[in-house]
Amino acid sequence: MPPQEQAEEAIVPTTNEMEIDGSNKEEERGGDEEAHASFSLKNVLWHGGSVWDAWFSCASNQVAQVLLTLPYSFSQLGMLSGVLLQLFYGFMGSWTAYLISVLYVEYRSRKEKEGVNFKNHVIQWFEVLDGLLGPYWKALGLGFNCTFLLFGSVIQLIGCASNIYYINDHLDKRTWTYIFGACCATTVFIPSFHNYRIWSFLGLGMTTYTAWYLTIAALIHGQVEEVTHSGPKKLVLYFTGATNILYTFGGHAVTVEIMHAMWKPQKFKHIYLMATLYVFTLTLPSAAAMYWAFGDMLLTHSNAFSLLPKTGFRDAAVVLMLIHQFITFGFACTPLYFVWEKVIGMHDTRSICLRALARLPVVIPIWFLAIIFPFFGPINSAVGALLVSFTVYIIPSLAHMLTYRSAVARQNAAEKPPFFLPSWTGMYAVNAFIVVWVLVVGFGLGGWASITNFVRQVNTFGLFAKCYQCPKPPSPPVAPSPLPHH
């Protein structure tokens, strides 16, 4: 049996086997599989299911193109709010990722007690909601999650075109979107999150280089002449920037799929927090240094690359970000591929080529939307306010509260409250606060600000904009009028 299938069989069969330190047979088999995988180069590079694989996947997926828009958000929010909101939403996002992991383990435990076998089936978030709360929650989770992942993929395509333009401006951004749409379509050949081991590792290295390049380049460049730091000065801009940060730390629409790819998914509980702490070392210095150096100039430059001088280091950062965006596109699209496969009855197909062909219809609307709405920074904020707010924060918090609303459910819970918040009442209070905060500030005020800003971009640049925020070519010199002859 291939290691991938062996690994999938080693996951969380019963409630009593949930203890991380327990020496049960399933965990022994998982350890054997990890050791077996290490002896094969193919398995080392291709079949990932360890805690480290999950950490790299979470950290790599959390920050991609948004790294380049955070300085833009700082110019809208001001330095203090930018730093505080990153910390606030980072820890809030880690908490809701923890809730999702708890609900996954609860769902898996219940189903496997009923004799359900997930050997050739990838569990997804909407199936967890369906199993725990019923079909209405399934529809809610499916709708928000798929739409978020769809536009998350759109953002990666827009980002690819925006970045490559700073190396080669002989083609406009719309043409580059056509080209990168075709390149990213090749992700249909990557079967599942087991197969992102080497990509996640490389992706995190690429964002680490880019973040520290932005930090060092901004400090070396120094402050521009007569730099101003006037933010925040408009409510629309303030809440647009805040929802972009909400989006930054809302990258766990693929949490369940990453967990399912683990040999021991019960160990996922604190991985997202550890990934977020590392991501802080990338996002806070780079955004703060860029805002310190360029100030309000960032209000009209949503891509941080656009303000830095062209050097070999900048070009290297652009190329690395392009490769990472390809990886992130695959991360966002893979759950959509799974959903589509299940709809058309192809999810159990073993042939990679047949599955790849079946997945292609998912890429086409993403490609088309990236061409219609090429608004780099504003679309991040709109997606954050309208989709991430529900997908990542509100729905997991409400689902956890409703799943454990009865005393019997709490008593038989597969995962008890964490050591730092051992009371169920405390968990309910935290979840209720998140629901109210994100509903009012994220969805309400953030939605108003983001849509207002987005409509303004459409009115300014129009749909199908050929080259969004490209520098205008210099006007040709006007020939002097000839002197009159006498």
Please give the C-alpha separations between residue 453 and each of 7, 228, 433, 461, 470, in angstroms, as whole numbers. Answer: 47, 22, 27, 12, 18
Whether the Cβ atoms of residue 449 and residue 389 lie closer than 8 Å to each other = no
Whether the Cβ atoms of residue 376 and residue 469 lie closer than 8 Å to each other = yes
**Torsion of the alpha carbons at 371, 169, 327 and 362, rounded to the nearest 10:** 20
Whether the Cβ atoms of residue 365 and residue 414 lie closer than 8 Å to each other = no
Single-letter amino acid, residue 452 = T
CA-to-CA distance for 11 and 18, rounded, in angstroms? Answer: 9
Tokens of 34: 């990890």
- The DSSP call for residue 481 is P
Residues 233-243 as b or e (16 or more Cβ within 10 Å = b): eeebbbbbbbb
Whether the Cβ atoms of residue 165 and residue 470 lie closer than 8 Å to each other = yes
**pLDDT tens-digit profile, the chain (486 residues):** 444 444 443 334 333 333 333 333 343 344 444 444 444 555 555 566 788 888 988 888 887 777 888 999 999 999 999 999 999 999 999 999 999 999 999 999 998 888 887 777 788 889 999 999 999 999 999 999 888 888 888 888 887 877 787 787 777 777 888 888 888 888 888 776 666 777 788 888 999 999 999 999 999 999 999 899 987 888 888 988 888 888 888 766 678 888 887 888 888 888 999 999 999 999 999 999 999 999 999 988 888 888 999 899 999 998 898 888 888 888 888 888 888 888 888 877 778 888 888 898 888 888 888 887 776 566 767 777 888 899 889 999 999 999 999 999 999 998 899 888 889 999 999 999 999 999 999 999 988 988 887 787 766 665 666 665 566 555 555 555 555 554
- Report whether the peptide linkage leading into residue 417 is cis, meaning its omega lies within 30 degrees of zero: no
